[in-house]
Amino acid sequence: MIFPRKQIRFAFLCGSLSFSSLANADFFEWTNTEIQYLHGDSYRMPANPRDISQSIITFTHADGWKYGHNFMFMDTSITEDGQPSQTNVYGEAYSYFSAGKILGKDLSFSIFKDINATIGVNAGENFDSPKSGTRIVLYGFTVDFNLPGFTLFSVDVLRHQILEPTLTVQNSSWQFTPVWKLPFSIADTKWSLEGFTDFIGSKGGNYHYNILAQPQLRLDIGDLWGDSNHLFVGVEYQYFYNKYGIKGLSESLPQALILWKF
C-alpha cells in the first residue's frame, strides 16, 4: 500500500460481473456498507518535519455472492494543518473466489474454514499534484479461519505489484494481511475490535519493507437507545512503519472515529 489508510478497498467489484447482474438485488447474498469519519493530528509525510492534522472520510462496501465475496473502500483525506492544503483520494477493491462455494462443498476442518483465490487493485490520486498517483495490482490467495469468538479472521497472501510510479528496481514483492473482527460485550454495551495489518516486502533499492496496522475499537452507541448496528463511535490506532516504503518514515497515532452503518 502506498497511501495511508487501507481499512477498506475501493474501485469496482469483479470485472467478470455484468452491470445487469449487479443491478439485480437478488444477486447478492448479503451486503454491508459503512461511512467512517476519522481525525488525527500526528500524520507524517516525506520531506516534512512537522506533524500533519487531517480528516479522513471513508466509504466501505462488502458483499457476498454465489462464488465468493467482494470488499472495497475509498478514502478522501483532507489536510487541515502541517502542510499546504491537499485533498487525496485512495481506494482498494478485492474479489475473493471461494473454493468451498465453487465446489459446492464444506471444506471446514478444525480451525480451517475455506480458501479463496484473490485479486485486487489499489489506486490513489493527489488532486493538488496530478503526477503523484499510484496504481497497484495484487493476486494470490486468502485463507479463512474459524477461531473462537471471532466472526471474521482471514489471512491474505498476495503478490504486491506496483504499476505506477515505476520503481528503478523490482516492482513486486509479497504482501501478508491478517484481517479480524472480534465482537464482545461490557455490561449491557456492545463493542468490537476489528481491523487489519499489512506486511509488505522490500522491493530493493529505496523501497523498504513496511507495516501498516489499523485496529479499531468500536462502541455500538445506537444500541443504547434501541437502534443497534447503525451508529458507532470509537478510536482507530494507526501504525505505519517505513511509510510508503521509505526507510525511517514512520507514524504512530490514535484517530477519533465516528461510523454509520447502512
Q: What is the 3-state secondary structure (H, E, C) of the chain?
A: CCCCCCCCCCCCCCCCCCHHHHHCHHHCCEEEEEEEEEEEEEEEECCEEEEEEEEEEEEEEEEEECCEEEEEEEEEEEEEECCCCCEEEEEEEEEEEEHHHHHCCCCCECCEEEEEEEEEEEEEEECCCHHHCEEEEEEEEEEEECCCCCCEEEEEEEEEEEEECCCCCCCEEEEEEEEEEEEEEECCEEEEEEEEEEEECCCECCECCEEEECCEEEEEHHHHHCCCCCEEEEEEEEEEECHHHCCCCCEEEEEEEEEEEC
Residue 2 resides in a domain: no
Residue (of 213, 262, 219) closest to 242 by Cα position: 213
Residue (of 249, 228, 257) closest to 7 by Cα position: 257
| Per-residue confidence (pLDDT) for residue 16, from 0 to 100 | 32
Q: Which residues pair with 175 in a beta bridge?
A: 158, 200
Grid cell at residue 54: 487531517
Go through the chain and tell me how many residues it has.
262
| Per-residue confidence (pLDDT) for residue 5, from 0 to 100 | 41
Residue 4 resides in a domain: no
Q: Kindly report the pTM of this predicted structure.
A: 0.87
Task: Show the domain range for 184.
Answer: 19-261
Rounded-to-integer distance, Cα 259 and Cα 262, Å = 10
| Per-residue confidence (pLDDT) for residue 129, from 0 to 100 | 62
Q: Please report, for the domain that includes residue 61, its CATH number.
A: 2.40.230.20
Rounded-to-integer distance, Cα 225 and Cα 98, Å = 38
Residue 213 resides in a domain: yes
Alpha carbons within 13 A on the beta-carbon side of 221: 10
**What are the pLDDT tens digits along the chain (262 aa)?**
334 344 333 333 333 333 333 445 578 999 999 999 999 999 999 989 999 999 999 999 999 999 999 999 999 999 999 988 888 999 999 999 999 999 999 999 999 999 999 999 999 987 666 556 789 999 999 999 999 999 999 999 999 999 887 776 788 999 999 999 999 999 999 999 999 999 999 998 889 999 999 999 999 999 999 999 999 999 999 999 999 999 999 999 999 999 999 9
Residue 12 resides in a domain: no
Q: Please count the structural domains in the chain.
A: 1
